[in-house]
Every structure is written in structure tokens, then in C-alpha cells.
Amino acid sequence: MAEEFFIQGNEACAKGAIAAGCRFFAGYPITPSTEVAETLARELPKVGGSFVQMEDEIASAGAIIGGSWGGTKSMTATSGPGISLMQENIGYAFMTETPIVIVDVQRGSPSTAQPTMASQSDMMQARWGSHGDYEPIALSPSSVQEFFDFTIKAFNLAEEYRCPVLVMADEVIGHMREKIVVGDDIEVVARKRPEKTDDYLPFENIENGTTPMPAFGDGFNIHVTGLTHDERGYPDTNTPETHHNLVKRICDKVLNNKDKICSVRSENCEDADIIIVSYGAPVRSAVEAVNRARANNQKVGYVKIDTPWPFPDEQLKEITKNASDVLVVEMNLGQMYYEVDRVLGKDVNVHLMGVIGGLLPTPDEILDEINKIGGN
């Protein structure tokens, strides 16, 4: 039987984590994500899980990586200043192929800025925040239901591709209350244990790029290091091929599966002259702006990007192929805009509606921008 709840986005995220099999959370209080930690502090012990309030966000990221190697699905939740502190350990998780989920309930930035106001200003940090080449997976929920669903999806993707997955929410979605439906047929991906064979290689360069991951204590005696390592996991920091093969495999296992990972939804785009591209909370206003434009016989559609990373180049090109103009609506001064422009800029006019200050752009404000484009 499906159950219904009327809850806050951050609570839905915590509920989704438990449904996905998360049994360890380590975090540090930070507005506007704290309710995720508070909910899990209360709920995890009820399902045999553990909650630890760490001394800072660096420690939180480290603890969940340790927890993951301990054989437990692990998560942390934070906001801008915290995600900045976590970056080194997030890079470590990419290099060591450790499945973890990091929830970022974005707030006004840079620095301490606007703790209780919304933004989407960490999108590029999700992409490039840690030093080096890697291919992150990030999901952006636009409703409380999606915050629940995407948290589950994040855990499943993390297990499937053995990598960190970021849930890039924002203060609007984190703090709003909506009805969610929790089905009884939730798909959960379990971690795969490797087989104990004589030629077992924990970081084997296999075809699809993702090797099964043992837990510490399973008897595999594996060495895990952030140094460039060979297929055995042993440091090999001076051989160019070792580094090239390792980093390429870590990137390719995501890039080669973009068709499975990327998720984009669109409406009214087939005949649209102008298409709104957005993700996260602003999608809500974009949908209403399109409804009003259509009522006024304006040919406007919208694209909602569920997975900003890896960026859905192909889907976006296909959906917008008949349009003349694309309007990117986001709560920063242009981050995903540059990605959209990179992919579509040769074929259509790409415009930015970048809103900062903490308030969600309204449908009317988006319509004003549409009309400006239409008038040109």
C-alpha cells in the first residue's frame, strides 16, 4: 500500500535516504539543510542505523567515506559553506570509487551570505569543486516528492557506478511542505560483493568500468588510497599510463552511461519558438509561465533538467531543435547557462535569466523575459 505524507522537503530527503538503505549519516549543522540531520538523528536508530554529529564538514565527508567502506550506505547533508569544506574528501571519494550521497540544500552565496534564502549557486562547485578531472552525477529536485525520489535515485546511482552522487536541492525545496506518496515498490540497488578469486583486482580496468566493491572485514585485504593506484590498489604515482588509465576509467564509467543516467523532462516543446530551460525550484515557475503563455497563444515550452551532471547534451539538442530561442532560468548569475550555451549556442539564441537575492523567480517575471525575447 502506498502511503501519503505532508512533510517538509528536508524530511522527505531523510525518508528517501532510509528507504534507499542508508544506515549511516554523518553531518554538521548548517542552515538550510539541518532538518535532514535532525530527522535522521531521530529515525536512523529505529532501523538499526547510526547518526554521528561530526566536528565539521570535512570530518563529515571523511566519516561517510569510512562508513561506506565499512559496508554501509552513507550520506551527509550540507549547504554552501559546508560543501566548500567537503571538496577535498569528495575528490578522494571519486578517486577511490566510494559510493556516497551528498545532499546540498543550496542557500545564498558566496561565503556565509543568505543562510535562510534560496539559490542554485553551487552548481559549478558540484561539477568542478574538487581538484582534478572527474565526472560527477548530480540530481536537482523541483518538489518535495522529487527530493524523496531523487535521494533514493542518488543512492542507487552511487552503488551502480561506485561514485559520489550529489543531490543539489535548494532552500525552497528543502523548507517547503507538500504531499508525497511513498510507494511500496521502491527500487533499491544493493551493493555487489566481488567473488573471492586468486586473480581478484579491486580496481580492475574492466569493460564497463565499475568493479564490485568489498567491505572492510570481508577478507579481501585491500588497500584503498587517493594516490594514483594500479588495479591492485597499490600506489603507482610516477607511471603516466597508470594515472591516465585510472582517471579515464573513472570518468568514462559515467560518460559512457550518460544515456542511462541523464534525465530530462519537457512539455510543449515540439512547436515552441522559445523554450525555457531550468532545474530545481525555478522549474515550478517555468511550468506556470508556459501555461500562461500557451493560454495567450504564445509558442513557449519548457525543459526540466533532473540531472544537471553529467550534462544532458544530446537530449537538450533534440528537444530544442525546432526552437529559435532558449531562456535559461536559474538562481545564480549564470552557471548552467554556460553549459546550455556550449551545447545549443551554435543553433539557437541562448538567453540567461539569472536571479539572485534568495527569492524564487515568479511566472510573471519569466513571462516578462519571454516577451522581451519575443519582441526582439
Partner 1 sequence: MSENKNRFLPYLREDRLPHIFCPGCGNGAIINAFLAAMEKADMDFDNIAMVSGIGCSSRIPGYLKCDSLHTTHGRALSFATGLKTANKDLDVVVFTGDGDAASIGGNHLIHAARRNINLTVICINNNIYGMTGGQISPTSPKGSFATTAPYGNLDTPFKLAELVAAAGASYSARWTTVQMENLVLSIKAGLKNKGFSFIEVATQCPTYFGRKNKLKTPTAMAAVMKANTVFKSAADRMSARELEGKIVVGEFANTQKDEFTENLERISVEKSGKKTLINSAYSTEL
Instruction: Give the Cα-Cα-Cα angle 85, 89, 91 (nearest 5 degrees).
Output: 110
Q: Using the rule CB under 8 A, which residue among 5, 38, 52, 313 binds partner 1?
A: 52
As a whole number of angstroms, the distance between CA 308 and CA 312 comes to 7
Closest approach of partner 1 to the CB of residue 65, in Å: 6
CB of 349 to partner 1, least distance (A): 44
**According to CB under 8 A, which one of 10, 34, 60, 121 is a site residue for partner 1?**
60
Looking up cell 578517486, which residue turns up? 95
At residue 127's C-alpha, the angle toward residues 168 and 93, to 5°, is 90
Dihedrals φ, ψ of 263, to 5°?
Answer: -135, 125
Is 92 one of the binding residues for partner 1 (CB under 8 A)? yes
221 binds partner 1 (CB under 8 A): yes
Restricting to residues 233-252, which ones interact with partner 1 according to CB under 8 A?
234-235
Q: Taking CB under 8 A as the rule, does residue 255 contact partner 1?
A: no
Applying CB under 8 A, the span of 4-12, 172-180, 212-220, 263-271 interacting with partner 1 comes to 212-220
Q: Which residue has the cell 515557475?
A: 285
Question: Does 193 engage in binding with partner 1 (CB under 8 A)?
Answer: yes
Name residues contacting partner 1, limited to 10-29 (CB under 8 A). Answer: 21, 23-24, 26
Q: Helix or strand or coil: residue 61?
A: helix
Judge if the upstream peptide bond of residue 110 is cis by omega within 30 degrees of 0: yes
Nearer to partner 1, 55 or 314 (CB): 55
Compute, in degrees rounded to 10, the torsion defined by CA atoms 355, 356, 359, 364.
-20
- Within 8 A by CB and 6+ apart from 340, the residues are 277, 316, 326, 328, 350
Q: Is 161 in the site for partner 1 (CB under 8 A)?
A: no
Q: Which of 89, 106, 121, 257 binds partner 1 (CB under 8 A)?
A: 89
Beta carbon nearer to partner 1, 65 or 117: 65
Q: Which one, 223 or 321, has the nearer CB to partner 1? A: 223
Tell me the C-alpha distance between 17 and 5, whole Å: 16
End-to-end Cα separation, the chain, in angstroms:
53
Locate all alpha helices (DSSP H) within 56-131, ordered by sequence: 57-69, 80-96, 123-128
Please tell me whether residue 185 binds partner 1 under the rule CB under 8 A. Answer: no
Residue 217 found at the interface with partner 1 (CB under 8 A)? yes
Confirm or reject binding of residue 375 to partner 1 (CB under 8 A). Answer: no
**Contact call for residue 130 and partner 1 (CB under 8 A):** no
Nearer to partner 1, 218 or 314 (CB): 218
For 344, phi then psi, to 5°, come to: -110, -15
Could you give the CA distance from residue 222 to residue 212 in angstroms, rounded to a whole number?
Answer: 13
Stretch touching partner 1 by CB under 8 A, among 70-78, 134-142, 276-284, 301-309: 70-78
Regarding 216 and contact with partner 1 (CB under 8 A), the answer is yes
Q: At what angle do helices 282-295 and 363-375 cross, to 10 degrees?
A: 60
Is residue 49 a contact point for partner 1 (CB under 8 A)? yes
Q: Which is nearer to partner 1, 113 or 215 (CB)?
A: 215
Residue ranges binding partner 1 (CB under 8 A): 21, 23-24, 26, 45-50, 52, 54-56, 58-74, 88-89, 92, 99, 159, 188-193, 215-227, 234-235
